[in-house]
Amino acid sequence: MKICELCAAQSKKTHNGKPHEDLMEMDAPRIFGGKPPRGFTEQDYKCLSCESRFTWSTSRTDLAWTLWRR
């Protein structure tokens, strides 16, 4: 199955980009500690329409929204 248009646009959003309306949070957020400002958070999401999976990260060195292949 191909990804939906909303997920295609989601993969291009920045760290400030909010999840689209069909993305559902999976599990609890993962918090990685470190000396400020090096700590960051990751959250996994799954699309209810096309079942694509994303990881959102606040890390400066990661992509904001990572689309994982199914």
Q: What digits encode the pLDDT tens for the residues 27-58?
A: 999 999 877 767 899 999 999 999 999 999 98
CA distance 66 to 12: 9
Taking 60 as the threshold, does the pLDDT of residue 10 lie above it?
yes
20 close to 5: Cβ distance less than 8 angstroms: no
Domain spans, the chain: 5-68
Q: How confident is the model at residue 25 (pLDDT cuts 50, 70, 90)?
A: very high
Q: What is the DSSP letter of 3?
A: P
User: What percentage of the chain carries pLDDT values higher than 70?
Assistant: 94
